[in-house]
């Protein structure tokens, strides 16, 4: 891909000035239009580490309104970021709808730098690429416009620029980090060593929804203009598409079933035996036993540095809060975290729906317990129509990929569906309403949800079937009897940890 590029193209300063004068207002105008249409844009800049990238990027971003973009220089991750899956720190930096995220270095050079010289670096690199492809495809599906540039220079130019920088005493970005980065510096300073890794990366990630543009950067005028023109064309196409009427849009997901997602068979939930219960004595003894086990196991998890994700979904009043309470009652709060998930706020709504969970992904060695979760997409958002049919149908695959990324990073995932029948829910609603201490727990929304029981049941059933995977299984918890429910949760978590550790 790179070797055939003709690097001899140049543009004079006078011609550059003239073109810039025409392109700048155009870019400003398109930026404002994309903003109005709430099109989020991701611009990735990669290239040789002395390719004059900074200068080109600066000339380019000067044509943008600073209110409309965020600039990210992706360098060494901080300690906490290293304890989470590779792609999470990039997920957390995606722009809100309508804004432009400019990435000076990105998941691409980070994947090379971070896998370099590691044991099993090839396997790690493959995993990174998989995470990257999931990431970009999911964003593109959600309407993100992704434009990726590789600023290419010749070996000769590379050497000269390196010398120039040294002479002028201009510090390279990573010098900020001192000795730790010398290794990286050596690598990226070595043209012939770096080239094959880059070639491979570009080829494997050049996707129709997120294509690479190689920019001939020996001549800086040429490079800047090519960047501007490419962004202009991409923005125009994207704006044109966004302003088409829905009928004209091509349906992207005609045949989901063909993509390897299993067919919907008969109901899982119908087969659940809700009459299971246990008595008070057994409850007390089992609770003590498993809580003690968990208190020890959490330190074991911490020691071997694996993260754990426990998800609670289920009917209103099925007892999620109570089950979680018993689960964490004897744990060290430094190592677990309960994350209640309600309806998204405005900022969250202005991002991809998975974005808001990035912060809560547990660090290696820690446990995050989700009281409701990303499954809201295929439950409440599906049933109440908060997202389109295309969106929730696509979500099964997206969620499976999202959880796969967690598993790849060593995460132990458990997902509980707390199941009760309609009568039990009614009893609990009524008793809550009569209890002055619990009255606040029951709202009009709970009653409204209840009135759509059958729709939720269908959605839950489809979710259980399409997202129960080997590494992230669903466990249906019979919860008509609260004691039974609590012990089953405690026991499942304890036994899973024992098995995995």
DSSP state of 251: P
What one-character-per-residue DSSP string does 403-456 give? HHHHHHTT-EEEEEEEE--HHHHHHHHHHHHH-TTTGGG--HHHHHHHHTHHHH
Token pair belonging to 395: 């979500």
| Residue (54 or 261) nearer to its own copies, CB | 54
Closest separation between CB of residue 202 and its own copies, Å?
23
| Residue (61 or 274) nearer to its own copies, CB | 61
The residues, any chain, with a CB within 8 Å of residue 319's CB and separated by 6 or more, are 418, 420, 479, 482, 485, 486
Q: What are phi and psi of 71, to 5 degrees?
A: -110, 125
The residues, any chain, with a CB within 8 Å of residue 243's CB and separated by 6 or more, are 37
Q: Per CB under 8 A, which region of 169-177, 243-251, 274-282, 311-319 contacts its own copies?
A: 169-177
Closest separation between CB of residue 173 and its own copies, Å?
6
Residue 433 binding its own copies, by CB under 8 A = no
| Residue (58 or 388) nearer to its own copies, CB | 58
User: Contact 85/406 with Cβ under 8 angstroms?
Assistant: yes
Closest separation between CB of residue 396 and its own copies, Å?
28
Query: Which position among 332, 430, 431, 433 is part of the footprint of its own copies (CB under 8 A)?
Result: 332
| Residue (104 or 316) nearer to its own copies, CB | 104
| Residue (439 or 448) nearer to its own copies, CB | 439
- Residue for token digits 């067919």? 263
Task: Enumerate residues 223-262 that contact its own copies by CB under 8 A.
Answer: none
Report d(CA 296, CA 392) in Å as an integer: 39
x-or-dash pattern for its own copies, window 73-102, by CB under 8 A?
x--x-xxxx---------------------
Q: In 10 A of CB 274, how many CB atoms?
A: 16
Residue 345 binding its own copies, by CB under 8 A = yes
Report d(CA 327, CA 494) in Å as an integer: 10
Report d(CA 473, CA 305) in Å as an integer: 21
Closest separation between CB of residue 349 and its own copies, Å?
12
x-or-dash pattern for its own copies, window 34-73, by CB under 8 A?
--------------------xx-xx--xx---xx---x-x
Query: Which position among 9, 32, 277, 356 is part of the footprint of its own copies (CB under 8 A)?
Result: 32
Report d(CA 304, CA 320) in Å as an integer: 29
Closest separation between CB of residue 321 and its own copies, Å?
8
Three-class HEC string of 103-140: EECCHHHHHHHHHCCCCCHHHHHHHHHHHHHHHHHHHH
Task: Enumerate residues 363-402 that contact its own copies by CB under 8 A.
Answer: 365, 371
Residue 431 binding its own copies, by CB under 8 A = no
| Residue (145 or 328) nearer to its own copies, CB | 328
Report d(CA 89, CA 139) in Å as an integer: 15
- Provide the Cα torsion 437, 438, 443, 448; round to 10°: -150
The binding site for its own copies (CB under 8 A) comprises: 25, 28-29, 32, 54-55, 57-58, 61-62, 66-67, 71, 73, 76, 78-81, 104, 169-171, 173, 176-177, 299, 302-303, 324-325, 328-334, 337-340, 342, 345-347, 365, 371, 437, 440
């Amino acid at each position: 891909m790179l070797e055939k590029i003709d690097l001899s193209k140049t543009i004079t300063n006078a011609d550059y000035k003239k073109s810039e004068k025409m392109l700048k207002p155009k870019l400003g105008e398109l930026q404002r239009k994309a903003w109005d249409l709430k099109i989020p844009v991701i611009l990735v800049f990669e290239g040789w580490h002395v390719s004059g990238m900074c200068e080109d990027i600066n000339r380019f971003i000067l044509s943008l309104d600073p209110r409309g973009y965020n600039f990210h220089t992706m360098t060494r991750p901080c300690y906490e970021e290293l304890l989470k899956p590779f792609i999470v720190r990039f997920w957390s930096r995606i722009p809100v709808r309508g804004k432009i995220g400019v990435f000076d270095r990105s998941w691409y050079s980070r994947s090379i730098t971070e896998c370099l010289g590691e044991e099993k670096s090839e396997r790690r690199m493959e995993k990174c690429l998989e995470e990257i492809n999931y990431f970009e495809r999911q964003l593109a599906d959600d309407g993100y416009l992704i434009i990726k540039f590789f600023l290419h220079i010749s070996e000769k130019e590379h050497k000269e620029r390196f010398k120039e920088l040294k002479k002028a005493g201009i510090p390279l970005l990573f010098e900020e980090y001192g000795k730790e980065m010398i290794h990286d510096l050596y690598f990226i300073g070595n043209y012939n060593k770096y080239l094959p890794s880059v070639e491979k990366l570009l080829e494997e990630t050049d996707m129709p929804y997120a294509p690479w543009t190689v920019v001939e950067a020996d001549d800086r005028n040429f490079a800047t203009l090519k960047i501007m023109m490419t962004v202009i064309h991409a923005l125009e196409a994207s704006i044109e598409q966004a302003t088409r009427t829905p009928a004209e849009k091509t349906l992207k997901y005609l045949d989901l079933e063909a993509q390897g997602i299993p067919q919907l068979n008969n109901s899982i939930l119908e087969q659940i035996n809700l009459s299971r219960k246990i008595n008070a004595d057994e409850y007390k003894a089992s609770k003590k036993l498993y809580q003690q086990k968990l208190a020890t196991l959490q330190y074991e998890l911490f020691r071997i540095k694996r993260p754990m994700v426990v998800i609670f979904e289920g009917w209103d009043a099925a007892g999620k809060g109570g089950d979680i309470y018993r689960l964490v009652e004897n744990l060290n709060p430094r190592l677990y975290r309960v994350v209640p998930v309600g309806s998204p706020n405005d900022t969250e709504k202005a991002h991809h729906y998975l974005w808001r969970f990035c912060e809560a992904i547990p660090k290696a060695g820690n446990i995050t317990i989700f009281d409701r979760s990303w499954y809201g997409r295929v439950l409440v958002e599906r049933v109440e129509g908060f997202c389109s049919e295309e969106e929730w149908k696509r979500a099964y695959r997206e969620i499976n990929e999202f959880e796969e990324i967690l598993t790849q990073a060593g995460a132990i995932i458990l997902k509980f569906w707390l199941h009760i029948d309609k009568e039990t829910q009614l009893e609990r609603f009524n008793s809550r309403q009569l209890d002055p201490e619990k009255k606040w727990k029951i709202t009009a929304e709970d009653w409204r949800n209840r009135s759509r029981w059958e729709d939720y049941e269908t959605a839950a059933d489809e979710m259980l079937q399409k997202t129960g995977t080997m590494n992230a299984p669903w466990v249906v918890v019979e919860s008509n009897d609260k004691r039974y429910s609590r012990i089953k949760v405690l026991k499942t978590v304890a036994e899973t940890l024992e098995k995995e550790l």
